[in-house]
Amino acid sequence: MGILSNIFHKIFPPSHPAVTQATAQAQPGSAQTAAPGAQQKAPTPQQAPQQQPQAQAAAPASAQQPPVDVEQILNNMQQQSGQQLNWRTSIVDLLKLLGLDSSLQARKELASELHYTGDTNDSASMNIWLHKQVMNKLAENGGKVPTDLKG
């Protein structure tokens, strides 16, 4: 699993589409992790009708999922931790609060995962960019994120 999916797992409930999608992508043999050039078998005519209703049934369930209040979840985590972490502006503190690796190497991996094009040796600029991107990704995947935290 990538660092972003680890963040999703820490914030979203296990049944949330962002978590289930991240889990599916991380499982060996899934379409997303198949070797490049590997071809997926097309369903036989007998399999196709059985697969369509399942896909159709899954779509409304994820569409009905209420937004996850990211700010409330992180504030609650901070209260429980007893630590003074500035997760609202610091990617390092956000990762620490979530119990994830906040080292420079981990942040560089996250930057790569999110397609950062700047200089990863300029950690201050990279950290600001990372924090905004993580907040944007949370919002894009069903998180309710305060407007001032998105970039």
If you average pLDDT over every residue of the chain, what do you get? Answer: 80
Both tokens of residue 43?
């369903």
What are the pLDDT digits (tens) for 36-81?
A: 343 444 444 444 444 444 444 444 444 567 899 999 999 999 999 9
pLDDT of residue 16: 80
When mean pLDDT is compared across 18-22, 37-41, 122-126, the lowest value belongs to 37-41
Query: What is the distance between the alpha carbons of residues 44 and 144, in angstroms, rounded to a whole number?
Result: 41
DSSP for 63-88, written as a single string:
HTPPPEEHHHHHHHHHHHHT----TT
pLDDT of residue 27: 62
Residue 96 lies in a domain: yes
Query: What is the distance between the alpha carbons of residues 65 and 21, in angstroms, rounded to a whole number?
Result: 14
Both tokens of residue 118?
């700047």
Distance spanning both ends of the chain, measured CA to CA? 25
- The helix (H) or strand (E) run that includes residue 57 is helix 48-63
Domain range for 101 is 67-145
Residue 135 lies in a domain: yes
pLDDT of residue 20: 75
In the predicted structure, residue 144 carries a pLDDT above the cut 60: yes
Residue 31 lies in a domain: no
Residue 3 Cα distances to 44, 49, 50, 134, angstroms: 36, 36, 34, 10
The single residue listed with the structure tokens 């889990």 is 23
pLDDT of residue 17: 83
Domain count, the chain: 1
pLDDT of residue 26: 61
Helices 3-11 and 70-81 pack at an angle, to 10 degrees, of 80
What are the pLDDT digits (tens) for 90-107?
A: 999 999 999 999 999 999
Residue 49 lies in a domain: no
Ranked by mean pLDDT, the top range of 11-15, 47-51, 141-145 is 141-145
Kindly report the backbone phi and psi dihedral angles of residue 92, in degrees, each rounded to the nearest multiple of 5, phi listed first: -60, -50
CB-CB contact of 145 with 68 (8 Å):
no
In the predicted structure, residue 141 carries a pLDDT above the cut 70: yes
